[in-house]
Amino acid sequence: MSRVIVVGNGMVGYKFCEKLRSRSKEHEIIVYGEEPRPAYDRVHLSSYFSGSTAEDLLMAPVSWYVENNVELFTSELVIEVNRENKTVKTHTGKVDHYDYLVLATGSSAFVPTVEGVERHGVFVYRTIEDLNQIIDYGKKVKKAAVLGGGLLGLEAAKALLDLGLETHVIEFAPRLMPRQIDDTGSAVLAHKLSQLGITIHLNKNTKKIAGNGKLEGLEFTDGSSLAIEMLVISAGIRPRDELAKANSLKVNPRGGVMVDDHLRTSDESIFAIGEVAVHNNMVYGLVAPGYEMADIVARQIIGEPSKLFTGFDMSTKLKLIGVDVASFGDPFGEITPSIPIAFQDKRNGVYKRINISEDGKHLLGGILIGDASQYNIFHQMVVNKMPLPAQPESLIIGSPGKNEPEGAGVKSLPDTAQICSCENITKGDLVSQITEHGATTVDDLKKKTKACTGCGGCTPMVNDILKITLESLGHKVKKTLCEHFEYSRQELYDIIKVKGIKSYDVLLNSVGRGDGCEICKPAVASLLSSIWNELIAEQDTIQDTNDRYLANIQRGGTYSVVPRIAGGEITPGKLMAIGRIAQKYGLYTKITGGQRIDMFGARVDQLPEIWEELIAEGFESGHAYGKALRTIKSCVGSTWCRYGVQDSVSFAIFIEDRYKGLRAPHKLKGAVSGCIRECAEAQSKDFGIIATEKGWNLYVGGNGGARPQHAKLLVNDVDTETCVKLIDRFLMFYIKTADPLTRTATWLNKLEGGLDYLRDVIVNDSLGIGEELEMEMKELIANYHCEWKKVVENPELRERYKHFINDDEPDTTLAFVEMRDQKIPIDWHKK
């Protein structure tokens, strides 16, 4: 197998080793690094001044190189390449053979030729050794300056500030960060920095570094001067191309090794990546393009056909001395004709500029200072060439968010009742669309009124209003699922059961038409699992996204994870396990209303790993993602409570274990209270049990939400066995007959004959189906499986948990901010 020598162990050189090793175990990888330590994170160098150690900054510990069979020589500088014999020679005289040579030598700080640059107290800002010298010297002085107001210069200024020095920044150009931001942006940033104690000097051309041996001050061409004791130069970078030059590889006259789209130098066996490479006249001083280059070269070396390097988007976002700074696309609007729209708020230190195309249709680029939370959105709008809204200024001015309602029984509502609070649509608005403007479907109503188009929480109510109003007009309303199925849910239940249909496709082929949609697919998926209870992951693309990934999608596109904690009872050991796992994956944790713990912010690719750990600790799926049994809440009951008359916790755990994983037309919640004080709030659940001296009272059909409704008493003072039997029947009857996405409360409200009829069927068995219902429930219970256990154990199913199908990286647009010591996603787009 071939031998690959990497010259340079910086961030990009390290990334190359990682990429090559992940694709090939056979290739020999040998790395020569000039610095005394392995590759470290240069991006976060300034954190070295605020407490990070050199160890913290390492890209990977020394053991990584050993474990991955990467031979690393630190403090060893390659001084010669013999291209004919394919060998390198180091400064210790060692000669080593290569099949492929990868130059990742990076760059050094550019030091301008100014008189006095050799004086004591003048430093560059590039390596940890530089930082150590700056820290040592900084202890002896009080006033310091940075030469260069670019990105790295401002980072260096932050470092000086952290050392407790009076800090100045000297910039030749009329603005800070001249490559990334415009004059106004610079003014806002400078104002903010001056509040933090940094003095900014623009338009200053340094003529002389004055002093006598050691540094005493700077003299500028405009005749002014500044007394300082220490200077950090950060005026740009120079690619480290000396090795290439000495071996007559093609170099750019202004520095850097020339490479083609394959990152090959003028020698077939030699590649150059990172800041030392010049591609198409560009040096990329960012890590992201460097990593991309590393990946491309690794693929070529193992002989995998690779994409080409065709340039890289230079959009960038960072936090600079605590201030967000971002630029994206064409920040100055100079590449194509454009019109800028800008918002400036000096009081809060915020500046936002977007450049839109002349026809107003597309976003071309822009600048964000002080608040870069919209960076990802804007960057994506540019790369996707997405059409702009009619008032593009709304993108940077925005409007406050709105609340979201939920629906139930609408007959009794007045015409003035607000149904859709997102769009402020009343019941009267909807009714008049139906009676006067001929709307006959929910889609008609959505198009005409925008109801249901915000949060979607009003959809059930809009459905009900449509149905009631059409009926009142004398229309016969057949409850068909959607345009693909001419049947109601209950009819489909019977069809699936009688014909023994087990997949959506077979059902669509036999009794449906078209390709299905987002209404019938999850409805049928729910029916299939309510009837057969087979693994839903086998038909993942007909599931709603929560069921597809067995987790709850949250703002930003990450998921939350809820393990089952039956009855809300949990051992300290299991509590610690959840804590440990949440901490390991950096998850936001919160106690839910159902007495369990929700862990937010998991990336889709992390879900199987997180569940593997949870399962190892004895947890199983909580089905929080499904239209399924959620929790059985309990009060502590007679085991501890001085008032308790029955052991409500044990009963709640028994019930939750019995029905866990049960899928239904909508979510199901239950509760068990240990006495009449009702601390578990059982009367607000789909089924609630309250202990009496003689046994249990069973309530059904309650729910919380926007239209809370108390559950109704079905039977009183029954023994445990009877209570369970009646719940079996009740749940099964509901599952078989309810419309999609209908909670038990709404179902019971609409049931002809109401509670008396339900009691007849369930308790008195008036239809003679009691035993059948119990049998059906028994089969479902027997088929229970922890969906996550199945997925974790099945490599094929696990493989589906990734964001990109052609790349193992996670979604790079995910972004979080901190709140009360936990992470939350950045706010999403408001309209």
Partner 1 sequence: MNYELPMINSNNETPQMDLTNNISKDTDVKIWFKAARVEAFPENGGACVRYKDLQIAVFNFTRRNEWYACQNMCPHKMQMVLSRGMIGSHQGEPKIACPFHKRTFSLKTGECLNTDECAITVYPVRIENGYVHIGLTA
Q: Is 540 in the site for partner 1 (CB under 8 A)?
A: yes
Helix, strand, or coil (residue 123):
strand
User: Which member of 460, 522, 622, 702 binds partner 1 (CB under 8 A)?
Assistant: 522
| Nearest to partner 1 of 243, 320 (CB atom) | 320
Residues of this chain, 541-600, that bind partner 1 according to CB under 8 A: 541-542, 544-545, 548-549, 553, 555-557
Site for partner 1 in 440-479 (CB under 8 A): 443, 446-447, 450, 453-456
DSSP 42: S
Stretch that binds partner 1, among 95-103, 163-171, 411-419, 809-817 (CB under 8 A): 809-817
Cβ contact 741:672 at 8 Å? no
What token pair was written down for 363?
Answer: 């976003």
- CA dihedral for 297, 300, 305, 310, sign (positive or negative): positive
* Residue closer to partner 1 (CB basis): 321 or 377: 377
If the CB atoms of residues 60 and 286 are measured against partner 1, the closer one turns out to be: 286
179/580 with CB nearer partner 1: 179
Q: SS3 string of 577-607? A: HHHHHHHHCCCEEEECCCCCEEEEEECHHHH
- Closer CB to partner 1, residue 516 or residue 563? 516
Rank residues 459 and 697 by Cβ distance to partner 1 and give the closer one.
459
Q: Which is nearer to partner 1, 423 or 681 (CB)?
A: 423
Instruction: Return the structure tokens found at 193.
Output: 């920095």
Strand partners, 543: none
Candidate ranges 74-82, 233-241, 425-433, 772-780; the one touching partner 1 (CB under 8 A): 233-241
Q: In the complex with partner 1, which residue's Cβ is closer, 121 or 256?
A: 256
Exactly one of 26, 84, 515, 752 binds partner 1 (CB under 8 A); which one? 515
The correct pick among 89, 143, 191, 238 for binding partner 1 (CB under 8 A) is: 238
Size of the site for partner 1 (CB under 8 A): 104
Q: List the one residue from 765, 778, 807, 817 that touches partner 1 (CB under 8 A).
A: 807
The smaller minimum CB distance to partner 1, of residues 41 and 678, is found at 41
Nearest Cα neighbor of 656 from 573, 570, 536 is: 570
Establish if 521 lies at the interface with partner 1 (CB under 8 A).
Answer: yes
Q: Return all residues near 109 (Cβ < 8 A) that are at least 6 apart.
A: 124, 125, 126, 130, 233, 234, 235, 236, 237, 238
CA angle in degrees (0–180, nearest 5) for 598-601-603: 120
Residues numbered 625 to 664 that lie near partner 1 (CB under 8 A) are: none
Q: Which is nearer to partner 1, 305 or 572 (CB)?
A: 305
Instruction: Give the DSSP H/E element, type plus range, for residue 413.
Output: none
Per rule CB under 8 A, is residue 484 in the interface with partner 1? yes
x/- contact string, 405-444, with partner 1 (CB under 8 A)? --------------------------------------x-
Output the smallest distance, CB 333 to partner 1, in A.
12
* Token output for 268: 């077939």
Q: Which residues of 71-107 are buried (b: 16+ CB within 10 A; e: fewer)?
A: ebbbebbbeebeeeebebebeeeeebebebbbbbbbb
Distance, in Å, from the CA atom of 56 to the CA atom of 48, rounded to the nearest integer, reads: 9
Q: Which of residues 280-339 bind partner 1 (CB under 8 A)?
A: 280-288, 292, 311-318, 329-330, 335-336
Residue where the block lists tokens 């696309």: 329
Least Å from the CB of residue 458 to partner 1: 12
Cα separation, 505 vs 301, in Å, equals 44
> Pick from 39, 131, 163, 237: which binds partner 1 (CB under 8 A)?
237
Q: Which is nearer to partner 1, 43 or 591 (CB)?
A: 43
What is the x/- site pattern for partner 1, positions 111-140, by CB under 8 A? ------------------------------
Q: Binding residue for partner 1 (CB under 8 A) from 13, 38, 153, 695?
A: 153
Sign of CA dihedral 226, 232, 237, 240: positive
**In what order do the strands lie in the sheet containing 588-591?**
552-553, 559-561, 597-602, 588-591
Applying CB under 8 A, the span of 23-31, 146-154, 163-171, 464-472 interacting with partner 1 comes to 146-154
Shortest Cβ distance from residue 281 to partner 1 (Å)? 5
Interaction residues for partner 1, span 661-720 (CB under 8 A): none
Q: How far apart, in whole angstroms, are the C-alpha atoms of residue 669 and residue 727?
A: 12
The DSSP output letter for 810 is P
Locate the DSSP E strands across 559-674: 559-561, 588-591, 597-602, 629-634, 668-673
By the 8 A CB rule, do 109 and 126 touch? yes
**Pairing mode of beta strands 166-170, 143-147:** parallel
- Asked if 180 touches partner 1 (CB under 8 A), the answer is yes
The correct pick among 38, 148, 644, 665 for binding partner 1 (CB under 8 A) is 148
What kind and span of H or E run contains 378?
helix 375-383
Alpha-carbon span 262 to 300, nearest angstrom: 8
Tell me whether residue 118 is exposed, middle or buried, using C-beta atoms within 10 angstroms of its C-beta: 0 to 12, 13 to 18, 19 or more: exposed
d(CA 523, CA 505): 13
Contact pick of 3, 83, 110, 491 for partner 1 (by CB under 8 A): 110
> Considering beta carbons, is residue 286 or 713 the nearer one to partner 1?
286
User: By CB under 8 A, is residue 348 in contact with partner 1?
Assistant: no
Q: Least distance in Å: CB of 156 to partner 1?
A: 11
Q: Smallest gap, in angstroms, from Cβ of residue 287 to partner 1?
A: 6
What residues are paired with 715 via a beta bridge?
A: 698
Q: Near partner 1 by CB under 8 A, which window of 191-199, 681-689, 771-779, 805-813?
A: 805-813
Contact 607, 801 (CB under 8 A): yes
Burial 557-575 (b: 16+ CB within 10 A, else e): ebbbbbbbbbbbebeeebe
Q: Which helix (H) or strand (E) holds 13?
A: helix 11-23
Smallest gap from Cβ 484 to partner 1, in A, equals 8
Structure tokens that stand for 2 in this block: 């071939």
601 binds partner 1 (CB under 8 A): no
Instruction: Return the structure tokens found at 31.
Output: 């790395």
Could you say which residues in the range 11-70 bind partner 1, by CB under 8 A?
43
Least distance CB 87 / partner 1 (angstroms): 31
Segment 374 to 403, residues that bind partner 1, using CB under 8 A: 376-377, 379-381, 383-389
Q: Which is nearer to partner 1, 409 or 557 (CB)?
A: 557
> Contact 646/637 with Cβ under 8 angstroms?
yes
Q: Does 277 bind partner 1 (CB under 8 A)?
A: no
Nearest CB to partner 1, comparing residues 445 and 680: 445
Dihedral sign from CA coordinates of 354, 355, 359, 361: negative
Element (DSSP H or E) covering residue 181: none
Least distance between partner 1 and beta carbon 167 (Å): 19
- Least distance to partner 1, CB of residue 522, Å: 8
Q: Phi and psi for 303 in degrees, rounded to 5?
A: 80, 20
Task: Looking at residues 239 to 268 of the shown chain, list those that interact with partner 1 (rule: CB under 8 A).
Answer: 239, 252, 254-256
